Structure 1
């Protein structure tokens, strides 16, 4: 019997601020190729359908906003009705690098809503299901970032949201331990997505220089997520770092 995974941010289209959903789409395709059923959610129906076409196994597309509590509740209810249990991968967004004195509250809240409130709502619904099914258990994979550990300059919304994801991941792993629920944070550094492609031209460094940075194929991220998702629930991977070998992370700043 095929396993099923739910992937947020599984589209790859236009967004008011920079979107990292190429990782979500690549993950969906990789899981499907590995024999998984996939449930794809995101804001744009057309982009989700495009992702679905590239998946080789059974796929369910549900468009909506993961910061909407009612939508998330209905999404997970539908997922259980159609497929039963599943692991889950949460994607995220970023915003333009902006000094805090020029940063609008709207932009800050928008990034926090998508990167933290959305994963919180999804985690809450998933844990409810994982605890009550027989036998209990499940796996959640959160999209962290190198910025969850060391921020880039002028990255308040994104860095704050990703530091918060670390707390969400660890709380989920702790409280889920007695129910065979595991949670992983995957910290990705310069996967070659639309969001990171500009780094190859030049990225602002803490000393004020703009320096080209190394990137790597997003397929390696997708393959890593497939591996994590395929582990039994009694095996935990709390934190996973995958990055371009040349990324300025160790010693950043």
Structure 2
């Protein structure tokens, strides 16, 4: 308990899936959590569930592709808690499409959330964290195994997550060289049983058959659970990872070692 005691953390895409699990675990470990999403009912419910067990949580409506909304989230976080210690850039979307059928509109929409959202969050988190005395903090970017390897029909998604992976390394080096005491790392999940994965499988056939096939892709014999990723988020948010920056934490059941 209390691995991130009193740290102020923003988690984007926190209404469901990996974001919700991360927000819940961070709160259990003592963090004050700002949950953001565009799914207001689910986001409010998640924040309420934290407060009901004695935690501190605030939900904010937030489209991560909007820079003014990022500025508002930072302002409201500072107004409520006085500082920002950790940003978890989790919000993302995933849609499959053969490359010859991909549209520019769909490509740009996916990039605006998955890649530009990370860029905007990182930009404004650094501005906020470097203004502290002394400066410091941690930024955790959710990439994917799809940011490390190719997956058929997921060209746009792979590109966005590969961009997150390399952007993380570039920003980590910048922050270290600038003496900002801001660590920047990425997490690369394998298939995790979340609403996003379930919806993707539903678009491509029978969900249970799809889950069985996804299980078989992982050497450990099954896909992951949201808490498997949340444990990684808590570690990178905590001082336990104080000597890690620019790293890619792979949590994938062995998927990428094959």
Q: Same fold (TM over 0.5)?
A: yes
Q: Distance in 1 between matches of 2:166 and 2:78?
A: 27
2:204 aligns to what?
Answer: none
1:172 aligns to what?
Answer: 171
Structure 1 residue 48 corresponds to structure 2 residue 48:
no
Q: Is the 8 A contact 1:142 1:184 kept in 2?
A: yes
Q: How far 1:45 moved relative to its partner?
A: 1.5
The alignment's TM-score, normalised by the length of structure 2, stands at 0.84
Secondary structure (helix, strand or coil) at the match of 1:139 reads strand
Gaps of 5+ in 2: 202-206
Q: Distance in 1 between matches of 2:248 and 2:137?
A: 17
2:58 is aligned, of 50, 55, 60, to: 60
Paired residues for 1:191-206 under 5 Å: 191-197=192-198, 198=201, 201-202=209-210
Q: Distance in 2 between matches of 1:241 and 1:161?
A: 17
Q: Distance in 1 between matches of 2:49 and 2:25?
A: 10
2:86 aligns to what?
Answer: 87
2:67 aligns to what?
Answer: 69
1:15 aligns to what?
Answer: none
Q: Is the 8 A contact 2:94 2:196 kept in 1?
A: no
2:23 aligns to what?
Answer: 28
Q: Is the 8 A contact 1:140 1:183 kept in 2?
A: yes
What is the root-mean-square deviation in Å for CA atoms of aligned residues? 2.1
Q: Distance in 2 between matches of 1:99 and 1:211?
A: 23
Q: How many residues align?
A: 235
Q: Is the 8 A contact 2:235 2:241 kept in 1?
A: no
Distance 1:6 1:50, change over 3 A: same
Q: Is the 8 A contact 2:11 2:19 kept in 1?
A: yes
**Which range moved further: 95-104 or 210-219?**
210-219
Q: Distance in 1 between matches of 2:125 and 2:92?
A: 21
Q: How far 1:101 moved relative to its partner?
A: 0.9
Q: How far 1:235 moved relative to its partner?
A: 2.1
1:241 is aligned, of 243, 250, 253, to: 250
Gaps of 5+ in 1: 13-21
